[in-house]
Amino acid sequence: MLERLQNRAESTPPDAAAGHADWLRGLSHSRQEEGEDKEEEKEEEEEECCRSGSENGRRIDIQKLVAISGIKMFYTCGPNEAMVVSGFGRSPPLMIAGGRVFVLPCIQQIQRITLNTLTLNVKSDKVYTRHGVPISVTGIAQVKIQGQNKEMLATACQMFMGKSEGEIANIALETLEGHQRAIIAHLTVEEIYQDRKKFSEQVFKVASSDLVNMGIGVVSYTLKDVHDDQDYLHSLGKARTAQVQKDARIGEAQYKRDAVMREANAMQEKVSAQLKNDIQMAKAQRDFELKKADYDVEVNTKKAESEMAYQLQVAKTKQRIEEEKMQIQVVERTQQITLQVQEIIRKEKELDAQVKKPAEAEKYRLERLAEAMRLQLIMEAEAEAESIRMRGDAEAFAIEAKGRAEAEQMTKKAEAFKQYKDGAMVDMLLEKLPLMAEEISRPLCEAQKITMVSSGGAEVGAAKLAGEVLDIMTRLPAAIEKLTGIDISQAGAQVTRVH
């Protein structure tokens, strides 16, 4: 650093060198108390520098001078402070916000200014609003000198250099309070109280533009408190509280009403859904029962048809086997007859060829006649057998036709049961009633002796016995209804349709 000072001194022009000489001359005069000898020597050196204005005058031993005087030349500051160096070689002054600087003693001056954030409690008491209501407002503002902005820092140095933090804060506070009062006067109490953000933004905007001209920036502004001595705000709060309570009661009543309605609707939907579900289940059960009944009828019909077809096929197979056997027997017998006829013809020719005796011929004729009769009997027997076979075939065909008719009858009955259901069952029960009556009266028919005892005016004899039998018969419909679930008396009309 001393070398830099020396180089600066060497590069200084003659006029500047003369200035240095004057400064050194004054410094030497201040040291007269140290001895006249030293003063004379210094004066001679100064005069020599002034006379020559040469290199020897500019090369001053600054290091020796600093060591002798003990003057501080390096200065530093933190980020919350700014230094301003003015004087020799500093036009305009040098401003440093947080850093270090070299200052030439006696010919340069250093000053400091704070960059700390200042908290201001901005109070405005009993300020009349736009409607003439006096209120008191308290705001909190954070302000500081902007060290990073050179123009604002220069302005702040011009405005506040040499002032303390308290003085700077007081100036900013007075400015903010004036703007706060002006904005309060242009607003109503409701606007200030209900929209604090808008009020804070207006104060911040107006105050910032004014304080910037002083080199101070507004970091933040918030509205802390609003109150009045006339209970104006309290009255507004009462009205609003009453309105809110009223709205709350109305809302609660509406909510309860809606809740009851929703609960009723939900219960109705639940019951409706349950009933629909029951209906669907009943329909499904009904469809299942109907389908099952249809399938049972179809299965039983197919079983009956299968059994009938099997029996019919067995009968047809047996018939074909018998026909084949008869055909074989007929063919065999036909061949035998053919052979016998040929044999007879041959023998007749042989007799004719040999000219038998008449007796032998007669005998032969009689034998042939007997043979012919035998053959006739055989043929008649065979014809009878064929007739018997044909009758058997006819009977088999009749049995087959009867089986088909019975199968068709069973099919028709199955269809009738399917169509008429209870009516068909009633028809069957009515067909069995005579048998049931017969079985009920059978013990009476087989009784050897009946002894009847009367106790008074009640019936006695055959009338009583017949009445008891009829009483048993009249109880049959009720018993049948308990067993089958069918009322014979109500289903009587369906019996006619079934028949």
The per-residue pLDDT for 12 is 40
Buried b / exposed e over 140-171, threshold 16 CB at 10 Å, is ebebbbbbeeeebbebbbebbeeeeeeebbeb
The per-residue pLDDT for 238 is 65
C-alpha span between 364 and 451 (Å, rounded): 89
- Averaged pLDDT score across all residues of the chain: 74
Say which residue, 94 or 444, is predicted with more confidence.
Answer: 94
User: For residue 85, what are the contacts with CB-CB under 8 A and spacing of at least 6?
Assistant: 93, 94, 96, 101, 103, 108, 109, 110
Instruction: Please state the rounded mean pLDDT for residues 446-473.
Output: 67
Instruction: Please state the rounded mean pLDDT for residues 277-282.
Output: 88
* 244 pLDDT higher than 80: no
Per domain, the residue ranges of the chain are: 2-70, 116-230, 282-420, 421-499
CATH superfamily assigned to domain 116-230: Band 7 domain (3.30.479.30)
**pLDDT by residue (tens digit) across 301-322?**
888 877 787 778 888 888 888 8
pLDDT bracket for residue 36 (50, 70, 90): low
Cα–chain-centroid distance for residue 263? Answer: 24
Cα–chain-centroid distance for residue 33? Answer: 102
> pTM here?
0.36
* 81 pLDDT higher than 70: yes
The per-residue pLDDT for 400 is 78
The per-residue pLDDT for 60 is 44
Closest to 120 in 3D by CA, of 199, 187, 196, 180: 180
* 337 pLDDT higher than 60: yes
The per-residue pLDDT for 239 is 66
The per-residue pLDDT for 382 is 82
Instruction: Please state the rounded mean pLDDT for residues 111-123.
Output: 84
**pLDDT by residue (tens digit) across 142-160?**
888 887 888 888 888 888 8
The per-residue pLDDT for 3 is 44
pLDDT bracket for residue 10 (50, 70, 90): very low
* 453 pLDDT higher than 70: no
Max mean pLDDT among 52-56, 73-77, 347-351, 469-473 falls in 73-77
| Least confident interval from 37-41, 90-94, 267-271, 291-295 | 37-41
* 261 pLDDT higher than 70: yes
| Least confident interval from 44-53, 83-92, 245-254, 460-469 | 44-53
